[in-house]
Amino acid sequence: MKTDNSSRFQQSLANPDEFTLTVELVPSRGARRTAHAKALTFAKEAVADGRLHAVSITENAGGHPALSPEVLGTEIARLGLDVIIHLSCKDKNRNQIESLLFAWDRAGLRNLLVITGDYPQRGYRGYPKPVFDLDAVQALDLVRRLNREEAGRDRRDPAIIKSVEPTSFLKGVAVSPFKYLEAELRMQYYKLHRKAAAGADYVITQVGYDARKFDELLRYMRLTGLNLPVLGNVFVPTPTVAGMMREGRIPGVALPDSIHAEMIEEFKEGDRGRKKALRRAAKLLCVQKGLGYSGAHIGGPGLTCAELEFLLTEAARMADDWPEFLESFSCWPPNSYFFRPGVDGKLNSDEPAPRGKVSRSLHYALADSSHELAFVETGLLYNTASRLCAAIDGSATQGAFAGAEHLVKLLLFGCRDCGDCTLAELGFLCPQKGCAKYLLNGPCGGSRNGWCEVFPGRKKCLYVKIHDRLKAVGRDESMTHGFVPPRDWALTETSSWINFYLRRNYTRLDK
Ligand code: SF4
């Protein structure tokens, strides 16, 4: 990992003997709200306390518009505290992301958390266009290229920028072990491989309260060679937010009954359960430290510096008692773990749990065998189809050919005519139609019980379906390899078959 002498956060992450502490701040909706002043007060007090390594600043959290993170970030950095800026893909295209990265580099804001982002919510006179031009893996690759780690590797797609200085961003990513279904969980882990390959420097987990799940993630990473520092999430909810978590109104966050019932009892107390909530957070932090996490990422609405101080002091006092706390963080369904339980059942063994059965899809089988025939170089029809497409390209029949292709693919796959077809990568399911965020490299963190974040109870997450199709033929782990480059919008409404044979589509790019 690169370290920057000016960044205490980077130095701490690079030091295996140090436990990194970060706190998440959410910018206010408006530039002069008291929440903004409170965030600055928090930062000032945190600098004086000295235990915190950085604050992370969300970007339009929950999909709602808020003050741009670099504004609060710059003010906090001036106070002497490191800042992690969330870079999400929901509201901006690749050029706007690049432009922002230049601005953040100029402002000295070089620690990032690169995420897909929550689906945009209602804004000015209605719902906005969900952009998602890049997914988190592609955005990481963009930042990596700006950092010039791999400049010039692909001659067909010359380095994005030739005329500017290389940047030195540190790139964090998110992952959630807190999924109920095998398909959701595996796809989270598979995508983490792609994020690592695309240049992730560190990982932050989703919010959760289950010790075996926290153990599972570290164990999975160790056993599969994903060697990145991980910060465990420690979240202190208010009664309102706990209710929202329970109802699944915070994307990707699940709060099981047992822990929610405990919280409800605590909220009845004089301080609305604040002390007990902070003590639970301190215990969770002890568990994470005991398990071998590199640090903790602490969050919660309205968390004050005095509360943080209490939490950290309690955690320091109880640090050695962490094995005793494991039982109090045991709330996940037993059949939702990646591994079989360990000897005492509190943590995991190294042995993967048996996988569920899935049936083969006839649609997949037919599509795959046709693909093998015509789109794989050894296929019987490959050369003929390739010559035919080369002859049609630029001829008077090109438009009719593209129209006929679209009609066939519309009937078979619900094709949206992007011209940069990725069906073969994704179990012959179309992300332009089936994923609300058009993701090409794995799921966002927002699915719940297999349902899409955007259509809960109505539409399955596309990546749950892709997982099951690929698993049925033993190919699901292909989702850990390489990555799918972003859609080329210049190809919209052109023939994806011609684009494939003439190497105009994403297959021309290195992965
Ligand atoms: S389909 Fe899955 S990956 Fe796509 S937006 Fe919905 S939950 Fe996220």
Give which of 293, 323, 284, 326 is closest to 219, Cα–Cα: 293
Cα–Cα distance measured from residue 446 to residue 55, given in angstroms and rounded to the nearest whole number? 23
Give, for ligand 1, the residue of 184, 187, 206, 452 to mutate: max count of ligand atoms closer than 8 Å to Cβ. Answer: 452
Residue 56 has pLDDT above 90, yes or no: yes
Residue 476 or 270, more confident: 476
pTM: 0.95
Arithmetic mean of pLDDT, 230-244: 96
CA 79 to centroid of chain Cα atoms? 29
Give which of 429, 506, 436 is closest to 470, Cα–Cα: 429
Q: Report pLDDT for 41.
A: 96
Cα–Cα distance measured from residue 96 to residue 210, given in angstroms and rounded to the nearest whole number? 38
- Which atom of ligand 1 is found nearest the CA of 463? 2
Name the region of 118 (left: φ>0; alpha: ψ -120 to 50; beta: rest).
beta
- 63-117 pLDDT, tens per residue? 999 999 999 999 999 999 999 999 999 999 999 999 999 999 999 999 999 999 9
Range with the lowest mean pLDDT among 54-63, 162-171, 258-267, 374-383?
162-171
**Mean pLDDT of the residues in the chain:** 94
Do the beta carbons of residue 424 and residue 371 sit within 8 Å?
yes
Kindly indicate the confidence band of residue 270, based on its pLDDT and cuts at 50, 70 and 90.
Answer: confident
CB 463 less than 6 A from any atom of ligand 1? yes
Residue 397, amino acid? T
The highest-level CATH class for domain 8-341 is: alpha beta
Sign of CA dihedral 151, 100, 83, 136: negative
Cα–Cα distance measured from residue 488 to residue 182, given in angstroms and rounded to the nearest whole number? 32
Cα–Cα distance measured from residue 216 to residue 224, given in angstroms and rounded to the nearest whole number? 12
CB 454 less than 6 A from any atom of ligand 1? yes
- The dihedral over CA atoms of 263, 318, 340, 16, expressed in degrees to the nearest 10, equals 120
Residue 152 has pLDDT above 90, yes or no: no
Q: At which residue do the structure tokens 């380095």 appear? A: 159
Give, for ligand 1, the residue of 448, 463, 464 to mutate: max count of ligand atoms closer than 8 Å to Cβ. Answer: 463
- Which atom of ligand 1 is found nearest the CA of 438? 4
Name the region of 250 (left: φ>0; alpha: ψ -120 to 50; beta: rest).
beta
Q: Report pLDDT for 164.
A: 62
Arithmetic mean of pLDDT, 359-387: 97
Cα–Cα distance measured from residue 463 to residue 327, given in angstroms and rounded to the nearest whole number? 32
Bridge pairing between strands 339-341 and 348-352: antiparallel
- The dihedral over CA atoms of 85, 89, 93, 96, expressed in degrees to the nearest 10, equals 0
Q: Report pLDDT for 3.
A: 44
CB 331 less than 6 A from any atom of ligand 1? no
Cα–Cα distance measured from residue 468 to residue 314, given in angstroms and rounded to the nearest whole number? 44
Residue 508 or 510, more confident: 508
Exposed e or buried b per residue across 377-414, where buried means at least 16 C-beta atoms within 10 angstroms of its C-beta: eebeebeebbeebeebbeeeeeeebbeebbeebeeebe
- 279-335 pLDDT, tens per residue? 999 999 999 999 999 999 999 999 999 999 999 999 999 999 999 999 999 999 999
Q: Report pLDDT for 2.
A: 46
Q: Report pLDDT for 508.
A: 83
Do the beta carbons of residue 414 and residue 434 sit within 8 Å?
yes
Bridge pairing between strands 339-341 and 54-57: unpaired
Domain with CATH 3.20.20.220 in the chain: 8-341
Do the beta carbons of residue 170 and residue 111 sit within 8 Å?
yes
Q: Which two tokens stand for residue 133?
A: 């031009």
Q: Report pLDDT for 255.
A: 94
